[in-house]
Structure 1
């Protein structure tokens, strides 16, 4: 059959192969129903057509789609659907015109600045994956795509595993590339979040040093031996990136930073680049990346106007800064004028107009008892800004200053996952900014869960509360929260 006439489900026309690996071939294709370009991964089934292995491969593809679909992030390739055609699965994915990071670094290392830019973007996606319990398990340069404008996205969650899922790899089979494996994984232990941290560190190491931490060898067994022992060559070209790399590549997983910490430290290391200084373009703000990404099969509200959230990875030229300063000054004056006008109106109101409405009996009960809690307030970052204004009403459970911080956290959990509109008001602006959250992304995160439970809610210090969180009956996670009082109401200011 000619490629030009090959179609999947009479909808997707295959145009050309653009990549591949042990698990399948990736095609550039045309979605003729929606008139868009997509990437389609054709899963290669075992040649012997063994029924058990064929079924295992199909299950793996379905699991890949489910896992990848749980992560909606501007620096992760989106999976739209999985189909079965010609007796094998096909994954329909976002198409990003790009080159793999492996191709970009194969001839010579990139600059430290470029490695930091790429690392900041990919760590943000992996941090989002970790917050919803996903371990990638195969972070490496070949699984990072970089577009012409410098946008980087992580792809191929094909061997990733949600915490608590059944392991589908064959007995004795190690999933991952030896040159980038964490020592514990090379020794046969299960991969967890710390393993992703090591693999990202190994990827950035290779980008600036010109070889992997275990050296260069065509013998995978030799690399596997070095990986299992944790023998790495100390970085010599990483400059200001060196301290973080050394922590990410620590032999003991407990000595490595979390992916959230990696993202924060990489952002702190970002250069204030001017146009033309870098071989990679400055990172596109996440909201702008979402506007050019392929639209999912399920209709969504497109982003048309976007402002980069606090901490966004972006470079701004001096001329643009001057314009932004001028606009900012004008906006500040306008805000002052509005505030003054509001104060004048408020002063003319009767005292009862500014009083908070009395709490209902159900509200009082919610604030005075410690009900079963819901999910941890740590939704994965999303790229598109909300078009729905965030709620500003008084929270259902306005926990007063006489309520303990632990009870306040329980009251927050009691609102979820069914009432995100009210629980949103119990998060401080600092918490929302640290997570790059909009109300729309927050609501979307909670909509994927049927039940979330929190137990062992305890105060462990001034304004510090710990809790054990269980998502949909999955593996429990221990979290620490910092609580603050805002106008007499306990609110969540930080997690972790």
Structure 2
């Protein structure tokens, strides 16, 4: 093939600055406008016939049309497309930069740095979604870090406008398996929610030093992991953990929008309270019928064991208000408004308070300190949800749109939360929480509670 050094008698190709399976990116000079540009040379399929080549050209033209809709300070701008030597060339903005993928070869990033990076990405992707554009391949290699600390998302090359006719071959999945949303890995259409997951996977990689699905030499094996939605829980994400868990939720409708994600990130950067619950559970993958039967068995077994522990604890250590040191301690998360529980078989509306407490659901004696009260709350969950719910203030329930029905329905799928590293400062108590799903698997995060006294008892008033 003839080497091309000048396009359309206007663009001089200077040097390659990047590339991949889709083609090569060149730094080039636009003689007409006297500026540096990036030119993406798209490679056409070889040995697959003229029809395949034409389809690839159509995709390139479509890429240019879609990407050109978006003009944003944190997205690489597309200027135009040229057909030269039977292959398309896309003319784009040039940004002196390194990719996030290259930067991560030096090791993971700090949480604060990832938050600043993510805010810039979210602002561009939120604008893309408002314009009806789905990126479909968000990954560290498509995140550019400018020399002036500017962050830009690039390569909308396999993105598509929502509602447009898909030009890729039937059954062909576009995207990088390590960053694909589970639904896309299973062959479903990509949506803005899929982009949210891929953003979460990219941020996860920046923080943890590896992808949520782990590594596999065989891309088919990695695609299988992606389709199941089973991720390795993050351990280095700090204050980003609750948001990151929501971004990586296996259920698309439970993920925040890109606009909501940007708002949460800005609040974290400013040190302000966010609307997320710090104890938001990790994403849960869909299971087959056999696994479902096993889950039911585990839930019933855990509930029976918890009931025995509660009875024994009440007999042996009722006056202390805290469990013995050898007993595992658990706390019940309160579900957020974005995670609706399964519909109840009863038509009765949810109540804001639990049924009348019986002798088996009475709260423990008042604790002397906030940390003791929190420990006592942990001891109640999940075997005594009525007493646990009574430990939350009306303000907490109102803020979290909480009812006892939502509270108990949420816990049907969880065994509990083990608590450690409890620290008290005034009426504020922090702790490390390790969640255990009924289906198996754990994840750990930190939470901070504000306690208030009402009628001589310490109650949980807020959590972050």
Smaller-chain TM-score bracket: 0.5 to 0.7
Q: Does 1:153 align with 2:145?
A: no
Residues 1-53 of structure 1 show CA distances to partners (whole Å, capped at 9, x for unaligned) of 997x8100111000011111111111000011111100000110111261101
- Higher-Rg structure is 2
Could you tell me which residue of structure 2 aligns to residue 39 of structure 1? 38
Structure-to-structure mapping, 1:247-326, within 5 angstroms? 247-270=246-269
Q: Secondary structure at the match of 2:106?
A: coil
CA distance in 2, matches of 1:235, 1:80: 39
Could you tell me which residue of structure 1 aligns to residue 94 of structure 2? 95
Is the contact made by 1:183 and 1:227 (CA closer than 8 Å) also made in structure 2?
yes
Q: Secondary structure at the match of 2:36?
A: strand
Could you tell me which residue of structure 1 aligns to residue 454 of structure 2? none
CA distance in 2, matches of 1:188, 1:239: 33
TM-score normalized by the length of structure 1: 0.53
Could you tell me which residue of structure 2 aligns to residue 114 of structure 1? 113
CA distance in 1, matches of 2:83, 2:182: 37
Is the contact made by 1:113 and 1:271 (CA closer than 8 Å) also made in structure 2?
no
Could you tell me which residue of structure 1 aligns to residue 131 of structure 2? 132
CA distance in 2, matches of 1:48, 1:221: 24
Alpha-carbon deviation of 1:205? Answer: 0.3
Could you tell me which residue of structure 2 aligns to residue 187 of structure 1? 186
Number of residue pairs matched by the alignment: 271
CA distance in 2, matches of 1:188, 1:198: 15
Structure-to-structure mapping, 1:443-454, within 5 angstroms? none
CA distance in 2, matches of 1:29, 1:221: 37
Could you tell me which residue of structure 2 aligns to residue 243 of structure 1? 242
Could you tell me which residue of structure 2 aligns to residue 169 of structure 1? 168
Is the contact made by 1:202 and 1:213 (CA closer than 8 Å) also made in structure 2?
yes
Could you tell me which residue of structure 2 aligns to residue 24 of structure 1? 23
Alpha-carbon deviation of 1:104? Answer: 0.7
Alpha-carbon deviation of 1:91? Answer: 0.3
Structure-to-structure mapping, 1:342-491, within 5 angstroms? none
Residues 405-450 of structure 1 show CA distances to partners (whole Å, capped at 9, x for unaligned) of xxxxxxxxxxxxxxxxxxxxxxxxxxxxxxxxxxxxxxxxxxxxxx
Q: Secondary structure at the match of 2:173?
A: coil
Could you tell me which residue of structure 1 aligns to residue 196 of structure 2? 197
CA distance in 1, matches of 2:76, 2:217: 30
Is the contact made by 1:179 and 1:223 (CA closer than 8 Å) also made in structure 2?
yes
Could you tell me which residue of structure 1 aligns to residue 57 of structure 2? 58
CA distance in 1, matches of 2:6, 2:58: 23
CA distance in 1, matches of 2:242, 2:102: 26
CA distance in 1, matches of 2:142, 2:11: 24
Is the contact made by 1:185 and 1:228 (CA closer than 8 Å) also made in structure 2?
yes
CA distance in 2, matches of 1:178, 1:115: 22
**Cα distance change on mapping 1:131 and 1:56 into 2, 3 Å:** same
Alpha-carbon deviation of 1:271? Answer: 5.9
Is the contact made by 1:184 and 1:228 (CA closer than 8 Å) also made in structure 2?
yes
CA distance in 2, matches of 1:227, 1:2: 41
Alpha-carbon deviation of 1:184? Answer: 0.5
Is the contact made by 1:108 and 1:210 (CA closer than 8 Å) also made in structure 2?
yes
CA distance in 1, matches of 2:164, 2:11: 31
CA distance in 2, matches of 1:58, 1:10: 21
Alpha-carbon deviation of 1:221? Answer: 1.4
CA distance in 1, matches of 2:270, 2:260: 18
Residues 175-223 of structure 1 show CA distances to partners (whole Å, capped at 9, x for unaligned) of 0000000010111111101000000000000000011111122221121
In structure 2, the gaps of 5 or more residues are: 272-464
**Cα distance change on mapping 1:202 and 1:216 into 2, 3 Å:** same
Q: Does 1:105 align with 2:132?
A: no
Could you tell me which residue of structure 1 aligns to residue 208 of structure 2? 209
Is the contact made by 1:159 and 1:175 (CA closer than 8 Å) also made in structure 2?
yes
Alpha-carbon deviation of 1:107? Answer: 2.8
Residues 451-474 of structure 1 show CA distances to partners (whole Å, capped at 9, x for unaligned) of xxxxxxxxxxxxxxxxxxxxxxxx
**Cα distance change on mapping 1:221 and 1:214 into 2, 3 Å:** same
Alpha-carbon deviation of 1:248? Answer: 0.3
**Cα distance change on mapping 1:49 and 1:253 into 2, 3 Å:** closer
Q: Does 1:231 align with 2:252?
A: no
